[in-house]
């Protein structure tokens, strides 16, 4: 009798959990994600973020420093041994890359510009409908053996991202965008927000890992970072230079 009661209770719990999952909508899941992160009010109060960390990939490590002014400004530096190798920036209108070693800046357009704009938008699900995006709960999956809810998000530019939210914490643990898979872990509280401090990216055969050392929120960030240099060159000229260098011809030659 006791076994039958326990079995019935377990089946009831499974049934209730299934009903809750079935009744949950995309907006319900997003609301739970906001709450787990620190609350929608805290996210809306977020004006800026400064992030420092280290990226590892292809046998190298690089220093990363990123400054964000929400909702759409970003300035991200990559460096080694205290020397800035390049910086990528957007002010919500223009996008460009700075290469100090070449003493030059290059304007970015097209798909590359859209990609940078997506990087600058730290919380795309906040006001996603107003921005022209759509979201749909598309089922469940396992991420590292733990149950996760899958959310399909189609942004204003019609690019699709699949988010995986842990079914217990409701924090994002993975996302897929095109061929890239991004995984999030080591969540910690910073400035009232719960944010990941380890991020891995797999794109094709390449894998990189970023560890975050510090996150500072709502501190002043210089407006000058988001002013595109007046003497920017076409980005195609930088791509052509990179192709020549990769081809073994150096900056002044080719095949």
- Whether 255 maps to a domain, the answer reads no
Instruction: Give 49-99 pLDDT, tens digit per residue.
Output: 999 999 998 888 999 999 999 999 999 999 998 899 999 999 999 999 999
- Whether 254 maps to a domain, the answer reads no
Spatial separation of the C-alpha atoms in residues 53 and 120, rounded to whole Å: 17
- Whether 24 maps to a domain, the answer reads yes
- Whether 49 maps to a domain, the answer reads yes
Instruction: Give 149-190 pLDDT, tens digit per residue.
Output: 999 999 998 999 999 999 999 999 999 998 899 999 999 999
Question: How many domains does the structure of the chain reveal?
Answer: 1
Q: Identify the top-confidence range among 107-116, 202-211, 218-227.
A: 218-227
- Whether 76 maps to a domain, the answer reads yes
Predicted confidence (pLDDT) at residue 237 exceeds the cutoff of 70: no
Report the CATH number at residue 130.
Answer: 2.50.20.10
Spatial separation of the C-alpha atoms in residues 14 and 147, rounded to whole Å: 14
pTM for this prediction: 0.83
Looking at residue 169, its pLDDT comes to: 98
Instruction: Report in angstroms the alpha-carbon separations of 122 from 27, 66, 126, 210.
Output: 18, 12, 9, 16
Helix H or strand E segment including 34:
helix 26-37
- Whether 36 maps to a domain, the answer reads yes
Looking at residue 247, its pLDDT comes to: 58
Q: Long-range contacts for 94-102 (Cβ within 8 Å, ≥24 apart)?
A: 94/228, 96/228, 96/229, 96/232, 97/235, 97/238, 98/229, 99/238, 102/241
pLDDT category at 224 given cuts 50, 70, 90 is very high
Q: Is 179 exposed, middle or buried (0-12, 13-18, 19+ CB in 10 A)?
A: exposed
Looking at residue 111, its pLDDT comes to: 87
- Whether 253 maps to a domain, the answer reads no
- Whether 138 maps to a domain, the answer reads yes
Find tokens 């992030």 and name the residue. Answer: 51
Domain containing residue 230: 2-246
Write out the DSSP string of 64-100.
Answer: EEEEEETTTEEEEEEEETTEEEEEEEE-SS-EEEEEG
pLDDT category at 235 given cuts 50, 70, 90 is confident
């Amino acid at each position: 009798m006791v076994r039958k009661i326990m079995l019935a209770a377990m089946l009831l719990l499974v049934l209730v959990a299934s009903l809750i999952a079935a009744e949950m909508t995309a907006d319900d899941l997003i609301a739970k994600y906001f709450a787990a992160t620190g609350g929608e009010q805290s996210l809306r109060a977020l004006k800026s973020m400064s992030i420092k960390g280290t990226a590892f990939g292809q046998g190298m490590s690089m220093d990363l420093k990123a400054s964000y002014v929400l909702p759409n400004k970003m300035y991200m530096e990559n460096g080694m041994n205290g020397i800035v190798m390049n910086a990528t920036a957007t002010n919500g209108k223009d996008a460009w890359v700075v290469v100090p070693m070449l003493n030059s800046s290059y304007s970015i357009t097209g798909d590359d510009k859209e990609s940078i704009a997506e990087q600058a938008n730290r919380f795309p699900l906040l006001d996603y409908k107003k921005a022209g995006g759509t979201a749909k709960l598309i089922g469940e999956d396992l991420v590292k053996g733990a149950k996760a809810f899958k959310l399909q998000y189609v942004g204003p530019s019609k690019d699709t991202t699949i988010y995986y939210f842990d079914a217990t914490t409701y924090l994002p643990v993975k996302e897929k965008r095109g061929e890239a898979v991004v995984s999030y872990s080591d969540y910690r509280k910073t400035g009232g927000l719960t944010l990941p401090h380890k991020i891995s990216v797999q794109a094709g055969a390449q894998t990189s890992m970023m560890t975050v050392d510090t996150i500072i929120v709502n501190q002043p960030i210089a407006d000058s970072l988001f002013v595109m240099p007046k003497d920017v060159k076409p980005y195609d000229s930088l791509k052509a230079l990179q192709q020549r260098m990769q081809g073994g011809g150096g900056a002044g030659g080719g095949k």
